[in-house]
């Protein structure tokens, strides 16, 4: 995973990798740059797409597009949701998907995805990670942030990325878990739980799209997006540094044709921020400040 020699014990960054669907491949580009530059990573948290990238780095898997993409690509969902503005129209044109959406808790049963993840990650457990690792999910019953530090890695990734209505909720003890982006798109609460080191929020969200809604369903979708945007802003306020991987234009969650371009964007943005990241990685947070951050995160 690259040489980290010369770093002092206790130095290093804790990364909070946001969700973003296909835009999450930008995280792999960012992580590759940090690894190659010798920046020490003291821990990683990930939400949704960020969970894939965080786990890949933590377990020493390739920080490239193709190996991961081959195991997670879902052509059916790509065809259904390729254009953000036409999601509802496309769904209406597919009676089988519409029927399933009304009958079942999700359009896709995630079985193909689970098999692909098992091939890629194997049956490792989160607590076996060589680096501190925390995955972010949301409790569908209570709306709480759920930080996953133990359990089968693949199941935790599925829970963290269970987009409501698209993939089924994942039972976890007495909880029912869905996509972590529902409660905290950039998983700063999970990152802060890993230690007092500086936290870098890595944001692979879509840019804000301002347009007049054409119908009531678009109003509902925009209201949901506005809520997530507000939650993201609150989370980023608790970071020591924000690395923006937000693309210049909207990229749909399942537009796999953009995987390589967002990967390159992650590389470029991180290379431009290397000086800041190097300086920040050598800072040490105070135990008091860390406890305060963790407490505030649990209250929020």
Local confidence band at 109 (pLDDT 50, 70, 90 cut-offs): confident
Backbone torsions φ then ψ of 239, nearest 5 degrees: -90, 155
Taking a C-beta distance cutoff of 8 angstroms, is the pair 197, 248 a contact?
A: no
* pLDDT at residue 188, as a whole number: 97
pLDDT tens for 279-295 read: 999 887 655 455 555 55
How many whole angstroms separate alpha carbon 188 and alpha carbon 47? 10
Question: Which tops the pLDDT comparison, 113 or 290?
Answer: 113
pLDDT tens for 212-237 read: 878 776 787 778 778 888 889 999 99
Instruction: For residue 136, give the H/E element and its range.
Output: strand 133-139
Distance of CA 288 to the CA centre of its chain: 28
Instruction: For residue 203, give the H/E element and its range.
Output: strand 199-203
Local confidence band at 78 (pLDDT 50, 70, 90 cut-offs): low
- Residue 125 is given by DSSP the state B
Taking a C-beta distance cutoff of 8 angstroms, is the pair 133, 142 a contact?
A: no
Distances (CA, A) of 166 to 77, 243, 266, 286, 292: 9, 28, 26, 41, 36
* pLDDT at residue 7, as a whole number: 38
> What does the pLDDT average to over 16-36?
97
pLDDT tens for 149-198 read: 999 999 999 999 999 988 999 999 999 999 999 999 999 999 999 999 99
- Residue 152 is given by DSSP the state B
Residues 6 or more apart in contact with residue 90 via CB below 8 angstroms: 80, 81, 82, 83
Selection from 232, 277, 168, 209 nearest residue 19 by Cα:
232
pLDDT tens for 226-278 read: 888 888 999 999 999 999 999 999 998 889 999 999 999 999 999 999 999 99
How many whole angstroms separate alpha carbon 294 and alpha carbon 247? 30
Selection from 144, 147, 121, 115 nearest residue 134 by Cα:
147
* pLDDT at residue 22, as a whole number: 96
> What does the pLDDT average to over 31-48?
97
The alpha carbon dihedral of 245, 107, 96, 101 has a sign of negative
* pLDDT at residue 85, as a whole number: 42
* pLDDT at residue 2, as a whole number: 32
> What does the pLDDT average to over 118-131?
97
Backbone torsions φ then ψ of 296, nearest 5 degrees: -65, -35
Residues 6 or more apart in contact with residue 132 via CB below 8 angstroms: 14, 42, 43, 44, 194, 195
* pLDDT at residue 89, as a whole number: 47
């Amino acid at each position: 995973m690259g040489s980290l020699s010369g770093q002092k014990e206790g130095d290093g960054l804790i990364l909070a990798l946001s969700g973003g669907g296909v835009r999450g491949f930008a995280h792999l580009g960012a992580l590759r740059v940090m690894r190659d530059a010798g920046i020490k990573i003291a821990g990683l948290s990930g939400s949704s797409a960020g969970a894939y990238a965080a786990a890949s780095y933590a377990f020493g898997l390739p920080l490239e597009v193709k190996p991961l993409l081959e195991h997670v690509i879902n052509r059916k969902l790509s065809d259904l949701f390729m254009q953000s503005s036409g999601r509802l129209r496309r769904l209406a044109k597919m009676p089988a998907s519409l029927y399933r959406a009304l009958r079942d808790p999700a359009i896709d049963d995630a079985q193909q995805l689970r098999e692909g993840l098992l091939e890629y990650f194997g049956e490792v457990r989160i607590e076996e990670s060589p680096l501190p690792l925390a995955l972010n999910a949301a409790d569908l019953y209570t709306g709480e942030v759920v930080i996953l530090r133990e359990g089968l890695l693949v199941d935790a990734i599925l829970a963290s990325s269970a987009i409501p209505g698209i993939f089924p909720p994942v039972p976890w003890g007495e909880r029912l878990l869905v996509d972590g982006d529902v409660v905290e798109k950039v998983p700063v609460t999970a990152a802060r739980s890993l230690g007092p080191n500086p936290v870098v929020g890595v944001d692979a969200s879509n840019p804000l799209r301002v347009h007049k809604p054409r119908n009531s369903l678009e109003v509902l979708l925009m209201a949901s997006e506005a809520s997530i945007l507000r939650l993201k802003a609150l989370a980023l306020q608790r970071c020591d540094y924000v690395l923006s991987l937000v693309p210049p234009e909207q990229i749909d969650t399942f537009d796999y044709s953009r995987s390589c371009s967002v990967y390159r964007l992650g590389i470029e943005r991180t290379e431009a921020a290397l000086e800041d990241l190097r300086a920040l990685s050598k800072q040490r947070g105070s135990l008091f400040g860390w406890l305060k951050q963790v407490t505030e995160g649990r209250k929020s």
